[in-house]
Structure 1
Amino acid sequence: MKQSRLASTTISATALALAFATAQAATSVEERVRGLVHKMTLAEKIGQMTQAERQHATPEDVKTYYLGAILNGGGSIPKENRRSDWVEMIRDYQAAAGGTRLGIPILYGADAVHGHNNVLGATIFPHNVALGATRNPQLARAIAAATAREVAATGIHWTFAPTLCVARDDRWGRAYECFGEDPELVSAFAGPFIRGLQGERLDGNNLAADKVLATAKHWVADGGTTYGTGDEGYAIDRGDTRLGADSLRAVHIAPYLPALKADVGSVMVSYSSVNGTKMHEHKALVTGTLKRELGFAGITLSDWSALGEIPAETNRARIVRAVNAGLDMVMEPEKWRDFITDLTAAVEAGEVSMARIDEAVTRILTTKFRAGLFEWPLPPLATAPDADHLIGHPAHRDLARQAVRESLVLLKNAGGLLPLDKKAKIFVAGDHADNIGLQSGGWTIEWQGKRGSITRGTTILDGIRALAEREVTYSPTGEGAAGHDVALIVVGEEPYAEGMGDYRPLPCSKCQPITLAKSQREMLARVQVSGVPMAVVILSGRPLMIAEDIGSWQAAVAAWLPGSEGAGVADVLFGEQAPSGKLPVTWPKSLAQLPINTGDAKYDPLFPYGFGLTYGAPSSIR
């Protein structure tokens, strides 16, 4: 949609800050918020509770409807996806918000879940499952801080990260968004990651200090849904988690405790259900547990159009259930006008109390003040002279490459095939070896991700060629291996996100079999016939079923979804750094074992949780 251009788009960041300054005589955030809420009309309050998508809401809409927040969906980008395009767009929105009666700035949110992954040329870090394999929360904090800098440089204030799911079933298509299957591991990453994004706490200076608001998601138990609860008989995304209260707390609520201690600014509620009740209408867990018991004081936010999944006959009824359950802001990307109309009618009819509306608006405004949004509606970094250099900054790429190195898990190394000899005659096979889109996975430039050179970075093949001292032979399909000293075969999954990645048994239109594709098995067989020793690198968001294949491989490495800096994989293959990663999830022998998790009574995996070899250590017998 073509967006309105306002004459004020050239207003400087300083002028915008002055335009948004309110209640300067107030001595506390509480007083400033109280004063604003007292002045606000119902329309202004409900506007603050509304988040629309950038393609469906213009700056003029922000001014007319007092919208509190804007976001972009995956793949939704302004103009040519340059940093300056993002800054210009957000400046337009903020100028419009500044032109309203009370001049309340908008929050702009984006899914920067493994780096600023919507933006062309940004650093794409490994997905969270890989970070879990590093066992290095401080590295994750540094990654979050680098991400915050790139996000702030585009004028954005808010990221919908980190995901604090505990992945209890690898058939779930979002498993790679989790740090692992064990709540203790996820908990170890929660606080450092949030502090990397936000700083130590929200103190009004966060945006000025190159930080952004974080979001702990998805409250709660999105990683524990029961397989087979969907309409099609196999869905697991947006499904139902069936657990007793003690298990729910021990496994799925536990990672939120360090997040709340880190003063996380927002919590996104899950599409899924707990014991049959959709989380978006689960008052006991949203208001009772999260807000009252655990003391969360920030913004509770719905997921994308999620109210539509509440089982009620009308949109108004769904809105009433969600808002009364404790939702403060509703992400209604396209039909946000209907949300405003129906919530207004519900309040006027007494179906939602003014006290509930005022609580929601108070939380939203308080969080905006505490982040420094009123003083800095456009993050200062967005107008810094050298801001263009922050997108994909070399220091950020170096950090991403280090994360790739630390995340690799050596599963097998018979005869010490790895590390590779730089003087060896090396054969590389598999299209995953030379494809940034495949190595980055979902949530990369587009929502589902895609094959190809979708952004800047280095492929695994680039890294191998840079380190090898002889010419490297490459064949996407595996022909021509004979006569080489070693064959390096890179296999893996196609990109996917959310429910599109759920395991689906054959036959289906878009199956996710969690096994090697037929073409990959044929390629491996082709290389095996050559008699050349094989080292196999697996690029995936979860363990693939390889028990029937790994016996013919001399070496195997789990490289997860490494992102834009594929050369980090080559660093480990050549011994520039020894492998140190440990499995953040259990690697099963077969699909029949799923779900399988550490601590299960019957636990006989292919590789256990925490497994990981290194060079010079005894090789796995598997």
Structure 2
Amino acid sequence: MISITKSILILSLVSYVTAILNDHHTYGTLEYNEYDRPEPIDLDILDMIDKMTVEEKIGQMTQINQDLVLNADGRLNRTAVEYYAKNYYVGSYLNQLARNGDNYDSADYAKIIEEIQEITLSVNSTFKIPIIYGLDHIHGAHYVANTTIFPHGINIAASFNPELAYESASITARDTRAAGVQWTFAPVLDIPVSKQWPRVYENYGEDPHLSSILGAAAIRGYQGKYKSDRTKVAACMKHFIAYGAPWSGQDRDSTVVSDRTVNDYFVPGFQAAIDAGVATAMESYIDVNGEPVVSSNKYLQKLLREKMKFEGMLVTDWKEIENLHTTHRVAATHKEAVRMAIADTSIDMSMVPQDVIFFDSMMELVKDGRITMDRIDESVARLLQLKKDVGLLETDGWKANRDLQKLTGNADDVEVALNAARESLTLLKNENNALPLSKDVKKILVIGPTGNNFGHLSGGWTIDWQGPTDDHWHGKVNDSQFYEKGISVIKGMQSSAPDGVQVEYMNGFDINGVNDNMDEVIELSKDFDAVVVCIGEHVYSELPGNIHDIRLPQGQVDQVAKLSKSTDIPLITVLLEGRPRVMDTIQEDSDAILLAYLPGPWGGKAIAEVLFGQVNPSGKLPYTYPKYSGDVNLNYWRPVSDVWDPLYEFGHGLSYSKFEYNNITYLGQENQEPMQSLVVGEPEKEIVVQVTNNSPVDGKETVLMYVKQPFRRVTPPAKLLKGFKKVFIPAGETKEVVFTVNAELFQYTGVDDIASDTIDNGPVKVLIGEQEFDFNIVN
């Protein structure tokens, strides 16, 4: 059997994840325990490994970028594919196939990938092993033309609806599989501590519980019964670990963080993913406290494999092993970088990705006796087991299902994307009931750079790595198919407007706030009853999205101020942004503010429906919205002693309904003395709160349950989310919302940074709305 090194554990983790998963245990038609997950290696895989050459094994551990086998015109270079298969036995390819503005639909993708497969399988080797192809499909199969693109992860987080995470992932899996791709690098489970970080929008927000629930739901959507269901793909939890807290706020910079913070805030989402059966994982670009994750035995062996019990396949991020030499500067040579990453950790596949230096270094290290065959066999076993599980080792299992290609972009999928956008939109401010727009409003002026542009609705990782807008600096991509499938804000307003309501658009200023025709806009605005200003960020992803100031461009702030001072009509601001940009005077100058995040190409319709009152907003902030540009690391779970002055708190979000919370009870009793006890080790018990819709408007309310421990051995957070439920409450009606509580909700990593199951005796509180219930922990 394959041996996996065991060593003394030096880290620990919060152990409430199983209870989290059981609280939301069904999605689709499967029960929680029916979803497939990685299991011990099959005997036939072990038999294959015994017969393979060392070159074939190392080839399976090698992943290269498609540009090594694509010509400049986008045609496949068959000679190159044969070269890499014959000489390096390459086991995996990745990345977008479209070139020179061409758009490739699922049939186009399948044709190219199947050609790669056929050439690879024709090469003489011990076994004809297909390659596995991977794509960053993080909000739909967005690299494949004519598929449905969904809101980004931050929108799913704002919806607080696990069903939407599940449904969007299920559709993404099917559309990805239709393209001949079996693996998606999603979901993204970093906790974006830094609000300056350009990858905030890919994630499920700053809270570990919320990220855990939504990540697990997405994994079940991507994978389902992936070992037999060929509409499913292997999911990949990323980026392990602590990637979202760069000390500078810049992408890929160092993270400086305590082990306690890693354990209590970064680990839970990944543990939930493992418990949900995630098939693969990707490590992160960064170093943590000076230790690069890609070479860390502490994080990738002791924590991930031994403590968290991850049995799936682990891949590096882009070029990360080489980065040990070129960027992290902890290895004097590339060869030493490979030794550190493979011998010291449990990495299975190197995303090399632009050469074959990994293969060459591995061969030398094996000959030198510095990497053992047992260590290589361990990784190859996991790689081949993954390929078997997704069907690649079956007869013609590498061929795309043409029937799935007929389903891409259907009306039901679009409705899921629309619903995700609708439920995510977050009403931050609504002074004097400026929204919904009243029946007296007959003429509406829409202005601003994000009001007539699909790219600003969708952000990065859409058609192109850097997104599909005219203003990004990598040049215009051919996104004609993208622009034909969606609804901009202005088109949404015009198509959703009630009879007799006129909606017009003028640009006013560009994304940097540079004046275009604002003088004309201000003059014309006097003839309108309301103005909707659509602002936000340029489109970006990863490093190109780095900024040094989280304030919105000053030009945008100035233009909104100028408009506000020049007119008395209601001014509605719509924010389209991937991270919370400090608003400055926009907060005061706007009568209402609607945060749309990055709702996808159909987001314009959802925004219009909310503005006109056809949809009641129900989104809640999945992160803390800072008031000041210096507060880039402001999170609601900060230590209770820290300074706290945000613009809007995590969980904030207004509605057109008025919800009231009453009568919180535990075991049928209201809060009373003596306090109820929560005994460590005892089963969960129910706590119930009544929520009433005291308004004439039906609405959805996300009920949040926090816990708070006023005093403990380690400075406690102000509060911590431990449960949420989104409920529909008709006008005038009351719903009972039930949560479960036990003493383990108050676990944390103790003073020695080892005991993650520390629970201190003493008084604690459960907070729901303005209601609270007092307990006493008994150990």
| CA deviation vs aligned residue, 1:13-65 (integer Å, no higher than 9, x gap) | xxxxxxxxxxxxxxx96111111101100110010000011111343145312
Query: Are the counterparts in 2 of residues 491 and 520 from structure 1 also a CA contact under 8 Å?
Result: no
Q: Which residue of 1 aligns with 2:134?
A: 109
Give the letter aligned to residue 144 of structure 1: A
Q: Which residue of 2 aligns with 1:545?
A: 582
TM-score norm. by structure 2 comes to 0.71
Change (3 A) 1:588 1:78: closer
| CA deviation vs aligned residue, 1:440-460 (integer Å, no higher than 9, x gap) | 111111111142565131111
Question: What is the correspondence of 1:223-242 to structure 2 with a 5 Å cutoff?
Answer: 223-227=244-248, 236-242=250-256
Query: Are the counterparts in 1 of residues 560 and 589 from structure 2 also a CA contact under 8 Å?
Result: no
Q: Distance in 2 between matches of 1:279 and 1:357?
A: 20
**Shift, 1:502, TM fit:** 2.4
Q: Distance in 1 between matches of 2:280 and 2:551?
A: 33
| CA deviation vs aligned residue, 1:416-463 (integer Å, no higher than 9, x gap) | 111124662111001201101111111111111142565131111111
Choose which of 582, 602, 608 in structure 1 pairs with 2:649: 608
**Shift, 1:73, TM fit:** 4.8
Query: Are the counterparts in 1 of residues 41 and 382 from structure 2 also a CA contact under 8 Å?
Result: no
Calculate the aligned-residue CA RMSD, in Å.
Answer: 2.1
Identity over aligned residues, as a percent?
Answer: 33
Q: Distance in 1 between matches of 2:424 and 2:54?
A: 50
Q: Which residue of 2 aligns with 1:457?
A: 486
| Structure with greater strand share of residues | 2
Query: Are the counterparts in 2 of residues 426 and 488 from structure 1 also a CA contact under 8 Å?
Result: yes
Q: Distance in 2 between matches of 1:430 and 1:417?
A: 19
| CA deviation vs aligned residue, 1:145-198 (integer Å, no higher than 9, x gap) | 011111111111100000000011101111111111111111111111000000
Question: What is the correspondence of 1:522-537 to structure 2 with a 5 Å cutoff?
Answer: 522-523=559-560, 525-526=562-563, 528-537=565-574
Choose which of 376, 380, 384 in structure 2 pairs with 1:357: 376
3-state SS in 1 of match to 2:525: coil
Q: Distance in 1 between matches of 2:618 and 2:507?
A: 28
3-state SS in 1 of match to 2:366: helix
Q: Distance in 2 between matches of 1:237 and 1:304?
A: 14
| Structure with greater helix share of residues | 1
Change (3 A) 1:515 1:249: same
Query: Structure 1 stretch 239-248 or stretch 604-613: which is displaced more?
Result: 239-248
Choose which of 547, 551, 575 in structure 1 pairs with 2:613: 575
Query: Are the counterparts in 2 of residues 153 and 379 from structure 1 also a CA contact under 8 Å?
Result: no
Q: Distance in 2 between matches of 1:361 and 1:47?
A: 9
Change (3 A) 1:356 1:29: closer
Change (3 A) 1:45 1:405: same
Q: Which residue of 1 aligns with 2:767?
A: none
**Shift, 1:379, TM fit:** 6.1
Query: Are the counterparts in 1 of residues 97 and 109 from structure 2 also a CA contact under 8 Å?
Result: no
Query: Structure 1 stretch 70-79 or stretch 415-424: which is displaced more?
Result: 70-79
Q: Which residue of 2 aligns with 1:9?
A: none
Query: Are the counterparts in 2 of residues 105 and 377 from structure 1 also a CA contact under 8 Å?
Result: no
Change (3 A) 1:605 1:438: same
Change (3 A) 1:378 1:534: farther
Choose which of 195, 198, 216 in structure 1 pairs with 2:237: 216
Asked if 1:467 corresponds to 2:496, the answer is: yes
3-state SS in 2 of match to 1:556: strand
Change (3 A) 1:362 1:36: same
Choose which of 284, 295, 317 in structure 2 pairs with 1:281: 295
Query: Are the counterparts in 2 of residues 62 and 96 from structure 1 also a CA contact under 8 Å?
Result: no
- Larger relative contact order (C-alpha < 8 A, sep ≥ 6)? 1
Give the letter aligned to residue 436 of structure 2: P
Query: Structure 1 stretch 373-382 or stretch 131-140: which is displaced more?
Result: 373-382
Q: Which residue of 2 aligns with 1:71?
A: 94
Q: Which residue of 2 aligns with 1:93?
A: 116
Asked if 1:440 corresponds to 2:458, the answer is: yes
Query: Are the counterparts in 2 of residues 74 and 443 from structure 1 also a CA contact under 8 Å?
Result: no
Q: Distance in 1 between matches of 2:301 and 2:101?
A: 36
Structure 2 unmatched runs, 5+:
1-39, 70-79, 471-478, 509-517, 660-694, 696-779
Change (3 A) 1:486 1:616: farther
Give the letter aligned to residue 341 of structure 2: A
**Shift, 1:517, TM fit:** 4.4
Q: Distance in 1 between matches of 2:254 and 2:373?
A: 32
TM-score norm. by structure 1 comes to 0.88
Change (3 A) 1:74 1:251: farther
Query: Are the counterparts in 2 of residues 72 and 110 from structure 1 also a CA contact under 8 Å?
Result: yes
Give the letter aligned to residue 269 of structure 2: P
Q: Distance in 2 between matches of 1:74 and 1:461?
A: 32
Asked if 1:126 corresponds to 2:151, the answer is: yes
Change (3 A) 1:392 1:261: same
Choose which of 538, 543, 547 in structure 2 pairs with 1:494: 538
Question: What is the correspondence of 1:29-178 to structure 2 with a 5 Å cutoff?
Answer: 30-57=42-69, 58-64=80-86, 65-73=88-96, 80-100=103-123, 101=125, 102-178=127-203
Q: Distance in 2 between matches of 1:221 and 1:73?
A: 27
Q: Distance in 1 between matches of 2:91 and 2:588?
A: 57
**Shift, 1:94, TM fit:** 1.6
Q: Which residue of 1 aligns with 2:427?
A: 410
Q: Distance in 2 between matches of 1:589 and 1:88?
A: 51
Query: Structure 1 stretch 320-329 or stretch 446-455: which is displaced more?
Result: 446-455
